[in-house]
């Protein structure tokens, strides 16, 4: 199954890349953009036996640096139903 992990900078952590993207949008004359934050998306193709706790451990041990980043795990619909 495919698991998606969204990694974003924590609130309050300055995001120079987001700022640069914001400036670039403005210089292309796109108005009304108030802020930009850039993050990453990591897709894992995993066995159905891999549960959310295991993915949580992957995030904490490697995929995200929790000093500066938050992460959000998105399981496929079927896995979400099984878990609930």
Point out which residues bind other proteins (CB under 8 A). Answer: 13-14, 16-17, 19-20, 61-63, 65, 67-68
Task: Write down the least CB distance from residue 63 to other proteins, Å.
Answer: 7
Task: Between 28 and 62, name the residue whose CB sits nearer to other proteins.
Answer: 62
Cα–chain center distance at 56:
13
Task: Between 63 and 75, name the residue whose CB sits nearer to other proteins.
Answer: 63
For the chain, percent helix, then strand, then coil, each to nearest 5?
A: 35, 25, 40
Neighbour-count burial of 80, counting CB atoms closer than 10 A to its CB (0-12 exposed, 13-18 middle, 19+ buried): exposed
Task: Between 31 and 61, name the residue whose CB sits nearer to other proteins.
Answer: 61
């Amino acid at each position: 199954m495919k698991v998606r992990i969204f990694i974003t900078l924590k609130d309050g952590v300055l995001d120079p890349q987001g700022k640069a993207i914001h400036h670039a949008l403005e210089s292309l004359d796109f108005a009304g953009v108030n802020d930009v934050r850039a993050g990453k998306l990591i897709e894992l193709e995993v066995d159905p036996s891999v549960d959310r706790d295991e993915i949580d451990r992957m995030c904490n041990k490697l995929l995200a640096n929790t000093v500066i980043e938050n992460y959000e795990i998105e399981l496929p619909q079927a896995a979400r139903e099984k878990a609930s």
